[in-house]
Amino acid sequence: MTPTTRTNPPPHLGPPPYLGPPPYLAALLLAGRRVVVVGGGTVAQRRLPDLLDTGAEITIVAPHLTPSIESLVRAGSVTWRPKRFEANDLDSAWYALALTDDPAVNASVVLAAEAARVFCVRADDGNAATALTPATGRHGAVRVAVLGGGDPRRAAAVRDGVVEALREGRLDDLPRRGGGGAPAVAIVGGGPGDPDLITVRGRRLLAHADVVVADRLAPQLLLSELAPHVEVVDAAKLPRGRAMSQQAINELLVERARAGKHVVRLKGGDPFVFGRGFEEVEACVAAGVPVTVVPGITSAIAVPGHARIPLTHRGIAQEAVIVSGHLAPDDAASLVDWHAVARLSGTLVLLMAVERLAQIAQVLLDHGKAADTPVAIVQDGTLPTERVVTARLGTVADVVGREQVKPPAVVVIGAVVALRARLGAQSPGAG
């Protein structure tokens, strides 16, 4: 039997590899230029974020759109022509994308683009178009684009490997931020405690830091990943005592940045949720030091969520209020209107409140909060040592004392706490 050669792979394997002359690699500057996307399905939905990031003026030609693309239309981010494609849809276009699930429509887009001398990509058959879409990734200002010779999985694997190497600093010839470069400070929210819950950007900045100024509540395991040359400063141990510690931190950030260092201020949770992050931003701005803020996942939301306690739930709670409990309700410096808080029908989340929980519970009861309101205290949230103690508002002070609950802990007060019991043994921690 004479062997046969398959020139085209089966449809489920995607388009055949590109077999023509090698493409000329270039980057398109599309800001303010018209780009036409033909197709409103999931393929278009995946391509649109990168196109929008370029600043292009995007027109979508399609009879129907996915809900996500509809939201972009409503927001004014893209223009929609609810119709089938016609050649004149490419008038004044600089770039076109044929992204429908109909090969005949995609072919007509390519032909019209060829006639109009508009470069065009085709999702279902790259060989039949005039441009190819690489697998792309980014690391700061560095963009990575990989063509895999018709093998998209290989291209994606190479892309991921390069981007990961950049993030981890394994490419020794990569120009580093800091280390004699322009002074810069990044105020980074480290998340609720689990080191895997820091943002991708926060972790990337840590990988290229020269100096890390860390809070006690910042994820400590992240510090073990730092290179040996990185200076780590424990913010809790700065001189001048607790009353002056914030000023000392501000001065340290400015001093190290002016020395040409890339400085990361690593904080627990989110820098702007009871984190005094704005004070540090103000200090940098006043000193003329460039500063960026990287938001973090606040423990007020993440810790209850990890413990399987929703802050809102249909038919039960339509509001969630976050209150600092670091001052007792009768403290003259307290800005909290506890009378108003007690009247709320939704969920109350208390941070830094364990040591004053008895006083807070009493003032809530005094102002009308029901004694049988469910309460959960989540200690060491998202960490291996996490535990959940539940009580009622009228008895929570006794329960906290008996169970020897210690900070850090997040307190959740409201009917949503009872929802956790529905999950039974699936819930983490001890109820």
**Residues annotated catalytic, as ranges:** 215, 237
How many other CB atoms are found less than 10 A from the CB of residue 185?
A: 26
- 3-state secondary structure at position 412: strand
Nearest-angstrom CA–CA distance, 135 and 114 = 24
CB 168 within 8 A of CB 189: no
Output the DSSP codes for 28-70. ---TTSEEEEE--SHHHHHHHHHHHHTT-EEEEE-S---HHHH
Gap between the terminal Cα atoms of the chain: 71
Output the DSSP codes for 331-382. -TT----HHHHHH--SEEEEES-GGGHHHHHHHHHHTT--TT-EEEEEETTT
CB 236 within 8 A of CB 252: no
Nearest by Cα to 236 from 212, 252, 221, 216: 216
**Hunting for tokens 């009580």 — which residue is that?**
391
- 3-state secondary structure at position 191: strand
Nearest by Cα to 417 from 404, 431, 403: 431
Q: Looking at residue 236, what DSSP letter applies?
A: G
